[in-house]
């Protein structure tokens, strides 16, 4: 069964936070919601888990007992130990003691938190805290795992560990939805919804998004910004034009996923001009 | 320095609750407590019994307010009326004069009644009624005997309301409230789970305070422990419910403490702990009638000092039960909004997929 959002609209008063956004979250796959601050990523995930009721559209999700959720904030109790945090979640989901203990031990091993099982959540490093939050969301074997920016502010090594956990969960058949601001992380997902100001700029697989980018992309060097539709990539400038004619001195290049995300934003701005 | 002052002004302007507390509250408190802070008692309910009850009743004047005259009744009836709280003064007439019984748990009423009877004594004596005064339940009129049962309640208000009020707010600030909302927990389960511990701690506190009060100040406990526990349990449910309600209305711990303080302060001054409720201005008296401590004080003083039976305390017990239902009900409704949002207007559909 595929979970997800079909043309979901969320309004806060007169403000539209999410405008007819769709996202398919399939078992065994990772779906990513990508966008900058205020794009509507958290709102989309909150609608998916039932924290927000949409004004329009269809939300498909499993029963509460089969959802694991990591909010953008801490996601654990700082004044409980690692073990106590996991135990609380397992008990809240009414897991049988035998199954609970086995699952907790397995997750502690997977997250590398065995040695910290008696440390308070608040005393862990940022990366360990997020691993604990993910472990808490996974302890009851959910069918749908929803993670709101699990790697934001986390060191690169911990990010790798966190993505390993997420991939393991998906490999085990869990449908995973993850919000992220990191484009390189989103490229690991099977399906992506690229959001900006509550609207979906692009959706589909990373390859489909890459092939669907409009206009032409080029690269050039130089100290000053070549056009108002250009951005830095390392020592080079990327230049995008909505047609096929690149400015003089700009060589055509193939877009990667990071380019595709920027182009989608520029193309949307072009349309709204 | 001016940058700091300007920043503080801007922040305060946006913190409307604090602004209202700073500007409106002092005036409001002054008015309310100005009318409440009154030790003068103007109305002392009095029963008159014995063969000359009619003559005696006609000779009694304000502040003594005769609520019952029954020549066929005797001292035991008057004592019972005082124990039940129906009257504060009981006058028992007889051939040898009059015996005046007074409820020692009502300190200010007794003092006022003594003064009033001292003025009446010559005329009453002229009518052939030599007066003998007997103070019941607190013969030495010890302030500690009256204060300890009430202070036990006040301590519980502090613990119950203040500490519990931080419970949900802490979850909100830590971001764990969202997780609770996604877990298969109902609002009443979360609230019950949160207050169960505080209920146990507060019950221990209550026992400790009462025992220390009895040991240190010699406060008697003459009534039924079961009646006291029933009243205390209901009172604790109300105070803990108030704490949860406060925390559902607050976004951070500072706001929760402000609101909890707003609920605690009136209970200190308007519950009858310090000033007699009957002496308060009518408008202010109505505030005291919605405060749980008012009823707990009736129960604790009634049971501990007077040995009042459960039948005579039904009114405060029932009112505490009503308050518990209302306060906990409101807390659950508010908390349910945090845990599960109500459906939005529109055409959304949410399907639980297998």
Q: Please, which residues have CB within 8 angstroms of residue B4's CB and are 6 or more apart in sequence? A: none
Q: How many CB pairs under 8 A join A and B?
A: 96
Closest approach of chain A CAs to the CA of B245, in angstroms?
21
Classify residue B26 as left (phi > 0), alpha (psi -120 to 50) or beta.
alpha
The CATH homologous superfamily to which domain A3-206 belongs is P-loop containing nucleotide triphosphate hydrolases (3.40.50.300)
CA-nearest residue to A146 within chain B is B182
Query: Residue A133: helix, strand or coil by DSSP?
Result: helix
pLDDT in tens, A171-210: 999 999 999 988 888 888 999 999 988 999 888 998 888 8
ipTM above 0.90, yes or no: no
Instruction: Check residue B351 and give its pLDDT.
Output: 66
Bridge-partner residues for B131, per DSSP? B98
B348 to A65: CB separation less than 8 angstroms, yes or no: no
Residue labelled with tokens 């003068």: B40
Q: Please tell me which residue of chain B has the smallest CA distance to A57.
A: B348
Contact check, Cβ <8 Å, B348/A8 = yes
- DSSP secondary structure code for residue A193 in this structure: E
CA–CA separation, A1 and A143 (whole Å): 10
Intervals of chain A under pLDDT 50:
none
d(CA A23, CA A245): 34
H/E run at residue B213: helix B187-217
Q: Is A202 exposed, middle or buried (0-12, 13-18, 19+ CB in 10 A)?
A: buried
Q: Give the pLDDT score at A265.
A: 87
Q: Domain residues of chain A, as ranges?
A: 3-206, 213-272
DSSP string, A38-56: TSSHHHHHHHHHTSS--SE
pLDDT at position B122: 57
CB distance B40 to B107 below 8 Å: no
User: What pLDDT score does B126 carry?
Assistant: 39
Which residues are within 8 A (CB) of B145 and not within 5 positions of it... i.e. 6 or more apart?
A: B104, B105, B138, B217, B218, B219, B220, B305
Give Cα A93 to chain centroid, integer Å: 25
**What are the beta bridge partners of residue B92?**
B49, B99
Tens-of-pLDDT digits for all 354 residues of chain B?
888 888 888 888 888 877 887 888 888 878 877 777 777 788 889 999 988 888 888 888 888 888 888 888 888 899 999 998 889 999 998 887 888 999 998 888 888 888 888 877 655 543 556 788 899 999 888 989 999 999 889 888 888 888 888 877 888 888 888 888 889 988 888 888 888 888 888 889 889 989 999 999 999 999 999 999 999 999 999 999 999 899 888 888 888 888 888 888 888 888 888 888 888 888 888 889 999 999 999 999 999 999 999 998 999 999 999 999 999 999 888 888 776 655 455 555 666 665
**Residue B74 CA: distances (Å) to CA of A76, B58, B59, B307:** 69, 18, 19, 20
What DSSP string describes A112-127? T-GGGTTSBGGGS-HH
A53, A77, A136 member nearest B348 (Cβ): A53
Contacts of B176 in chain A (CB under 8 A): 73-77
pLDDT attached to residue B96: 77
**Which residue among B183, B342, B351 places its CB closest to the CB of A93?**
B183
Residue pair A216/A246 in contact by the 8 Å Cβ criterion: yes
Q: Is the peptide bond before B63 cis (omega within 30 degrees of 0)?
A: yes
Task: Give SS3 for A225.
Answer: coil
State whether residue B197 sits within 8 Å of chain A by CB: no
Contact check, Cβ <8 Å, A64/B183: yes
Judge whether B251 is closer than 8 Å to chain A, CB to CB. no
User: Is A67 in Cβ contact with B178 (below 8 Å)?
Assistant: no
Chain A residue with CA closest to B346: the answer is A55
Chain A partners within 8 Å of B194 (Cβ)? none
Name which of B247, B295, B245 is nearest B270 in CA terms. B295
Instruction: Report the C-alpha gap between B184 and B140 in whole angstroms.
Output: 58
Chain B residue with minimum CA distance to A143:
B354
CA distance A93 to chain B (A): 7
Q: Does B176 touch chain A (CB under 8 A)?
A: yes
Residue B325 has a pLDDT of: 94
- Within 8 A of A11 by CB-CB distance, chain B residues are 344, 346
pLDDT at position A176 is 97
- The reply to whether residue B182 touches residue A8, judged by beta carbons under 8 angstroms, is no
Q: Do residue B352 and residue A61 have CB atoms under 8 angstroms apart?
A: yes
B326/chain A closest Cα distance in angstroms: 27
Instruction: Mark yes or no for CB contact A3/B346 under 8 Å.
Output: no
């Amino acid at each position: 069964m595929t979970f997800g959002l079909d043309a979901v609209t969320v309004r806060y008063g007169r403000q539209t936070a999410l405008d007819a956004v769709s996202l398919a979250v399939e078992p065994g796959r990772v779906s990513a919601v990508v966008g900058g601050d205020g794009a509507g990523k958290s709102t989309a995930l909150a609608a998916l888990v039932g924290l927000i009721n949409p004004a329009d559209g269809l939300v498909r999700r499993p029963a509460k007992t089969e959802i694991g959720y990591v909010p953008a904030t801490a996601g654990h109790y700082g004044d409980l130990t690692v073990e106590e945090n996991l135990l609380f979640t397992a008990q809240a989901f009414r897991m049988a003691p035998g199954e609970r203990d086995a699952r907790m031990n397995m997750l502690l091993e997977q997250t590398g938190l065995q040695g910290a099982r008696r440390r308070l959540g608040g005393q862990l490093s940022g990366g360990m805290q997020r691993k604990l939050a993910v472990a808490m969301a996974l302890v009851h074997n959910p069918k749908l795992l929803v993670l709101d920016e699990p790697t934001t502010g986390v060191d690169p090594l911990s990010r790798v560990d966190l993505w390993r956990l997420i991939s393991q969960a998906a490999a085990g058949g869990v449908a995973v939805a993850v919000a992220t601001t990191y484009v390189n992380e989103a490229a690991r997902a099977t399906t992506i919804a690229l959001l900006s100001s509550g609207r979906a700029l692009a959706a589909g697989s990373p390859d489909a998004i890459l092939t669907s980018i409009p206009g032409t992309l080029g690269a050039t060097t130089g100290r000053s910004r070549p056009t108002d539709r250009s951005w830095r990539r390392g020592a080079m400038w990327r230049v995008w034009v909505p047609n096929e004619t690149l400015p003089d001195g700009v060589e055509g290049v193939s877009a990667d996923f990071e380019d595709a995300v920027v182009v989608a934003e520029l193309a949307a701005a072009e349309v709204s001009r | 320095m001016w940058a700091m002052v300007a920043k503080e002004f801007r922040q305060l302007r946006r913190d409307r609750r604090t602004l209202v507390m700073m500007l409106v509250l002092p005036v409001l408190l002054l008015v309310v407590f100005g009318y409440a802070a009154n030790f003068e008692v103007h109305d002392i309910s009095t029963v008159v019994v014995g063969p000359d009850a009619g003559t005696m009743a006609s000779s009694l004047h304000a502040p003594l307010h005769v609520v019952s005259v029954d020549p066929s009744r005797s001292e035991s009836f008057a004592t019972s009326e005082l124990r039940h709280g129906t009257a504060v003064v009981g006058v028992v007439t007889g051939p040898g004069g009059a015996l005046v019984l007074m409820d020692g748990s009502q300190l200010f009423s007794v003092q006022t009644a003594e003064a009033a009877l001292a003025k009446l004594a010559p005329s009453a004596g002229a009518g052939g009624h030599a007066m003998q005064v007997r103070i019941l339940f607190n013969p030495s009129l010890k302030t500690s005997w009256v204060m300890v049962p009430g202070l036990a309640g006040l301590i519980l208000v502090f613990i119950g309301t203040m500490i519990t009020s931080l419970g949900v707010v802490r979850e909100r600030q830590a971001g764990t409230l969202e997780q609770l909302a996604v877990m298969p927990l109902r609002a009443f389960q979360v609230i019950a789970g949160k207050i169960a511990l505080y209920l146990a701690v507060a019950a221990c506190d209550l026992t400790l305070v009462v025992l220390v009060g009895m040991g240190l100040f010699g406060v008697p406990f003459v009534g039924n422990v079961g009646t006291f526990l029933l009243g205390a349990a209901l009172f604790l449910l109300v105070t803990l419910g108030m704490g949860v309600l406060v925390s559902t209305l607050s976004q951070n711990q500072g706001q929760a403490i402000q609101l909890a303080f707003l609920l605690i302060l009136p209970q200190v001054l308007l519950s009858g702990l310090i000033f007699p409720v009957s002496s308060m201005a009518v408008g202010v008296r109505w505030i005291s009638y919605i405060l749980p401590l008012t009823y707990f004080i009736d129960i604790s003083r009634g049971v501990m000092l007077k040995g009042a039976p459960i039948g005579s305390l039904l009114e405060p017990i029932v009112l505490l039960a009503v308050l518990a239902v209302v306060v906990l009900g409101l807390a659950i409704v508010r908390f349910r909004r945090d845990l599960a949002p109500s459906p939005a207007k529109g055409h959304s559909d949410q399907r639980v997929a297998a």
